[in-house]
Chain A
Amino acid sequence: MFSRIRSDLFGALFIFSLLLAFWLLISASIHWQHILVGVIFCFILTIFWSNLTIAADIKTGFNLKQLFMLLKYFFFLGIDIVIANIGVALIVLNPKKPISPGIVIMRCDLERSLSRVLYVNSITLTPGTITVELEGNLLIVHALTEDVAHGVEDWALYRRLQEVEGIYNNG
């Protein structure tokens, strides 16, 4: 139970402070009894779930540049979602129904599982495209119109994720 914490003290501290921040936000008071109860429970939770929340072989590390790039990624993803959502709403409400659905088979060269999940989820979140399958580096996407399909093939956000992954690999 303690071996993971001993091997990665910084990760345990990070999870502890995350839990404590959540506790303070929810309780919204700085009375000392609240804080004491919160600290005790966060401590117990960190120790109790350490073999789920802390990886055995990877040390927790921070790269501020990577965090900044991820925030930028989420910002542009939000803009993309709003624009594409309005596009899908216009297609649905158009009385002529100008759809031409189809399947795109393409490559996905991301290697880290977290960035793969992020990429696939943001494809699905962006209206007009659904990820159907991701196996190895084969990615199957269902698109609502042909324009959207061509847009997915070289997407600006994919390059952003590749940059994030490059920083991770170097540092």
Chain B
Amino acid sequence: MIFVQQVIPYVALFFIFSGFFFLLVGVVGLLRLPDVYTRMHAMGKCDTLGTGMVLIGLMLLFADITNVTKLLLIAAMIATINPVVTHLIAKTAYNRGTPMAEGSFLINDYVASQRRRRRQPLVTEPEKGGDIC
């Protein structure tokens, strides 16, 4: 028990500093990557793991139920608000026609998957019936 109590602060420090590392990677990506969309990849994403790991470290440090509940709520709010705002920025940039970096590819899977879907019922339905029976 005493051993665990001695180890926990170091584990918490490990989580907090690796969270800082991911936030730092986010900032480096913001400076290095070429256009709006790719910068958002670096910034919006390293936030999720970075803040999450810092919060886990804080939870280990304040190991009592009220603070852990509050930190869990903060984590849930970050995990829901962050993707929504990232999506809004991306949507606005896309609809305004913000240019992408040179050499961007475009894969159109929509038409192909529509065809696959049209073909699917003929092929897979007998198999499915067999599985259930």
A81 CB contacts on chain B under 8 angstroms: 48-49
B94 touches A140 (CB 8 A): yes
- Structural contact, A89 and B65, CB atoms closer than 8 A: no
Q: Which residues between 93 and 115 of chain A lie within 8 Å of chain B, taking CB atoms?
A: 93, 97, 99-107, 109
Total contacts A to B, CB within 8 angstroms?
134
Confirm or deny: B103 has a beta carbon within 8 angstroms of a beta carbon on chain A: yes
Chain A hits for B80, CB < 8 A: 121
Distance of A147 Cα from B119 Cα, bound (Å): 27
Judge whether A127 and B46 touch: CB under 8 Å: yes
The docked-state distance in angstroms from the alpha carbon of A93 to that of B42 is 11
B28 lies within 8 A of A92 (CB):
yes
Residues in A neighbouring B91, C-beta threshold 8 A:
132-133
B42→A99 contact, CB < 8 A: no
Q: B87 and A120: CB pair below 8 A?
A: yes
Give chain B nearest CB distance to A164 CB in angstroms: 18
Interface residues of B in 93-129 (CB under 8 A from A): 94-95, 100-101, 103-110, 113-114, 117
Taken residue by residue from 29 to 72, chain B's Cβ proximity to chain A (1 for < 8 Å, 0 otherwise) reads as 10011110110111011101100000000000000111001100
- Chief secondary structure at chain B's binding surface: helix
Are A101 and B38 in contact, with the CB atoms below 8 A?
Answer: yes
Known: A82-B49, A132-B90, A149-B107. 6 other contacts (CB 8 A): A92-B29, A97-B33, A105-B107, A105-B108, A127-B45, A138-B110
B residues near A, CB below 8 A?
A: 22, 25, 28-29, 32-35, 37-38, 40-42, 44-46, 48-49, 64-66, 69-70, 79-80, 82-84, 86-87, 90-91, 94-95, 100-101, 103-110, 113-114, 117
